[in-house]
Copies of this chain bind each other. A is one copy, B any other.
């Protein structure tokens, strides 16, 4: 049972616990957004498609309060999710605009190239701060995954910052 790209995040988020589209948007913005974002324009139609295919189903109606549709995963959904996670192949290419800028930075004057690397460094520092801020949230889930991926993100940020420093040194000492 093939899942669409964003269908996978959504199904995963529903697999963790029953969630509405709004819930999913919120939790994605606080976790996977660093490597996989999702917009409402994707979430709501995709929830309907997943429900039509029997991979998720509406949970019990809310007791009073706001109108909302919370979905829970079905057995078929769990199977489809596991099938995707277990498959070692990746369907999607990585895309990193920051690296593309760095790749071409040498076409500019040296001062400009330095500014490009400095901007990249700033972004990585910001990202590290953002990851540190969501740390407690990830630590709260006892499940393996969020915390490990957070460690990954922090390590990557550290590496990237060091790389920027080293690259700046090289760029500056070439006289």
Q: Which of A's residues lie within 8 Å of B, judged by CB?
A: 5, 8-9, 12, 15-16, 31-37, 81-82, 84-86, 88, 90-108, 112-113, 115-116, 119, 122-123, 143-146, 148-149, 151-152, 155-156, 159-160, 163, 167, 170-171
Pairwise interchain contact B100-A32, C-beta atoms closer than 8 A: yes
Pairwise interchain contact A85-B99, C-beta atoms closer than 8 A: no
Closest to A112 in B: B86
Pairwise interchain contact A149-B86, C-beta atoms closer than 8 A: no
Residues of B within 8 A of A107 (CB): 12, 15-16, 81-82, 85, 143, 145
Cβ of A12 to closest chain B Cβ, rounded Å: 4
Give bound CA distance, A151 to B11, whole Å: 36
